[in-house]
Amino acid sequence: MPYSLEQVTWMPSPPLIPDDGPIDFDHLCRMTLGDSSLEREVLAMFAGQAAELTAALAQLPPDAATLAHKLKGSARAIGAVHVAAAAADLETALRNGADPAEPRAALDLAITQACQAIDAILRRS
């Protein structure tokens, strides 16, 4: 049976990283089972941890790659997809001995945006 080549109309795939803002609230809702009180608690904990890790990473300690990895996991858990991606880039740069300046700046920006969104949510009530 001969095969014919014909034009197939493909549906676009959704982006791997949602671009609806710094926090994927659908993911956060799934992770907290829709409990808004737990969402707020988790977001507050993440904001505090992100501030601590950012301060530590600014000094580029010997365990900086491990700190970036920790931040990546925490960010993924709450749906801070841009923070997770930037932390992954920094972790890779540090483990490969590359210049960490650019990925660290991108991480700082992503954390700032995520924490601004978190602050806005926490101030609502």
Residue 15 has pLDDT above 60, yes or no: no
- Helical axes 36-58 vs 101-123, angle rounded to 10°: 150
Residue 108 has pLDDT above 90, yes or no: yes
Angle, CA 23 vertex, CA 19 and CA 28 arms, to 5°: 120
Q: Higher pLDDT residue, 59 or 16?
A: 59
- Report the pLDDT value the prediction gives residue 119, as an integer from 0 to 100: 95
In residues, how long is the chain?
A: 125
Of residues 100, 97, 102, 119, the one with CA closest to residue 50: 119
- Dihedral angle, C-alpha 32, 119, 115, 64, nearest 10 °: -80
The arithmetic mean of pLDDT across residues 42-54, rounded, is 97
Contacts of 31 (CB under 8 A, 6+ apart): 42, 77, 78, 79
Q: 97-101: long-range contacts at Cβ-Cβ below 8 A with a sequence spacing of 24 or more?
A: 100/60, 100/64
Residue 82 has pLDDT above 90, yes or no: yes
* CA–CA dist 82, 110 (Å, integer): 6
* CA–CA dist 64, 47 (Å, integer): 19
- Report the pLDDT value the prediction gives residue 106, as an integer from 0 to 100: 98
The arithmetic mean of pLDDT across residues 83-97, rounded, is 98
pLDDT band of 94, cuts 50, 70, 90: very high
- Report the pLDDT value the prediction gives residue 10, as an integer from 0 to 100: 61
What proportion of the chain, given as a percentage, has pLDDT over 90? 82
What's the token pair of residue 95? 């483990």
